[in-house]
Amino acid sequence: MFSIYGESGRLFKGAMEDLWRVEALHSVTRARRLEAQHQTAPVNPVAARDAAAPHTLAGAALSAYAQAGGGQPTRHPLTRVADVMSRGATTVGQDLTVLQAWQMLGRAGLGQAPVTNALGELVGLLTRAELLNFDRLPQPDAPSLVWRALLMQPVSAVMLSPVPAVSEDIDLRRVARVLLDTRLPGLPVVAEEGQVTGFISRSDILRAVVHDPPLDLWS
């Protein structure tokens, strides 16, 4: 089941096909599209080649292992969010300052985190990209007080909200479709009451595809 959560609580619960009937979700999608336009950059073919090299070597090693008599690794079909999600996801309180949230993301090595209220219920999504939104940042020569004011804002002032969420039993293909349509880096995984139980990111899905030994993403 898909849901949409905002500061006032759950705004929607239903099928993927009905998500776009919630007008508030369109503002998040528009924001992500504008952000993507600002961040578009040419691909460095050398960097792309170097980044692909480890996967090529891993594939060659696995092939050599199989030929040497190691046999084919057991394949396990992955079909649901629960199969690939990251559990115990880091969450950010909506009343934390932007500075505190930035430090949390940095320490955890994360690019995004679900935002929760005092009850642990989902209210939004904070991303590094949103924190670095060109339209939000002061001019480089702005007085230090202006920069301090930005850093002292509450997370609720800069988070993406409302934000779609997903339950653990949803088909991975549907999650992938929503990620493509919204351009979000991932979706919070929530329990029935709205508490965050994990996060499923694009990286989680891609990691399942290239897992060593390889796994069948869909049977």
93 versus 77: the higher-pLDDT residue is 93
Range 2-209: architecture per CATH: Roll (3.10)
Return the pLDDT at 23: 83
CB 116 within 8 A of CB 123: yes
Segments making up each domain of the chain, as ranges = 2-209
pLDDT in tens, 184-199: 999 999 999 899 999 9
The bridge status of strand 196-201 relative to strand 92-93 is unpaired
Band of pLDDT at residue 67, cut at 50, 70 and 90: low
Cα separation, 113 vs 95, whole angstroms? 14
Q: Give whichever of 15-19, 53-57, 165-169 has the largest mean pLDDT.
A: 165-169
CB 75 within 8 A of CB 215: yes
> What is the average pLDDT across 30-40?
50
Cα separation, 166 vs 177, whole angstroms? 12
Q: Is the pLDDT of residue 47 over 50?
A: no
Cα separation, 183 vs 81, whole angstroms? 18
CB 190 within 8 A of CB 122: yes
Q: Is the pLDDT of residue 55 over 60?
A: no
> What is the average pLDDT across 52-57?
46
Beta strands in 81-185 (DSSP E): 86-87, 92-93, 112-116, 122-127, 163-166
Q: Give whichever of 13-17, 46-50, 65-69, 128-132 has the largest mean pLDDT.
A: 13-17
171 versus 59: the higher-pLDDT residue is 171
Return the pLDDT at 45: 39
170 versus 214: the higher-pLDDT residue is 170
| Dihedral sign of CA atoms 76, 77, 82, 88 in order | positive
Return the pLDDT at 59: 52
